[in-house]
Amino acid sequence: MPRTKGDHEARRRDVSEAVWRVLAAHGFGGLTLRAVAAELGATTGLLTHYFPAKRDLVAHALDLLAERTAARPRRPATPGLAAVRAALLDILPLTADAIASNRIWVSSWDTALADPALSDDYARKYARGRARLTDLIAAAQDLGELPPGDPARLAAGAQSFTLGLVVQALFDPATFPPPRQVELLDDYLASLTPPP
């Protein structure tokens, strides 16, 4: 039976919540219309109304991932090296939410790599992340907290390091608990700064 109140916006949020729960529980490969509908307590009829085809559901899931990643709480930091460190710490799976988010992220790579259009999208997304990081690094260089050099090159390196640490921490959380991750990141940052 149709809902008595047509609160469209709220219903849209409910759908997104259900999609997120399915992703967290079964990964990107387990994202099916029926799984989302069951999580929502509804039927596939509802979903086809919001998403004409499966690819639209997948696109929405990717948007959701990007949106929640962008909207995650950031730790405050003064400009300079501290801001670079904060930005990288914000990426790492240090909290339960961040773990869930990163797991979904990694699990989406299978789908993304199989579709050139999605691959391009991801390439652009990561490029934007590197661009933001480049700005932070350039600012730190201006403050003399990082040695001179192409900031884009440093950003690419820092992003690689962090991304790889995410993957390792997800597969082996026992070996890479939050303190260890922070330790390794600080090692990396220390290696960038010249010894006193």
Partner DNA sequence: ACATTCGCATAACAAGCGTTATGAATATGT
Partner DNA sequence: ACATATTCATAACGCTTGTTATGCGAATGT
Nearest to 49 by CA among 83, 106, 81, 2: 2
Concatenate the DSSP letters of all residues of 132-147 into one string. HHHHHHHHHHHTTSS-
Evaluate whether 78 touches 64 at the Cβ level (below 8 Å).
no
Looking at the Cβ atoms of 23 and 37, the one nearer to DNA is 37
Q: Scanning residues 104 to 133, which ones bind a second copy (CB under 8 A)?
A: 106-114, 119, 122-123, 126-127
Q: Answer yes or no whether residue 1 interacts with DNA by CB under 7 A.
A: yes
Q: Answer yes or no whether residue 43 interacts with DNA by CB under 7 A.
A: yes
Evaluate whether 148 touches 166 at the Cβ level (below 8 Å).
no
Q: Scanning residues 18 to 37, which ones bind DNA (CB under 7 A)?
A: 31-35, 37
Q: How far apart are CA 50 and CA 178, in angstroms?
A: 39
Q: Which of 17, 25, 49, 172 binds DNA (CB under 7 A)?
A: 49
Q: How far apart are CA 72 and CA 23, in angstroms?
A: 17
Minimal distance, residue 59 CB to DNA, in Å: 12
Q: How far apart are CA 59 and CA 104, in angstroms?
A: 14
Q: Which residues bind a second copy (CB under 8 A)?
A: 26-30, 103, 106-114, 119, 122-123, 126-127, 153-154, 156-157, 159-168, 170-172, 174-176, 183-184, 187-188, 191-192, 194-195
Q: Which residues bind DNA (CB under 7 A)?
A: 1-6, 8, 11, 31-35, 37, 42-46, 48-50, 52-55
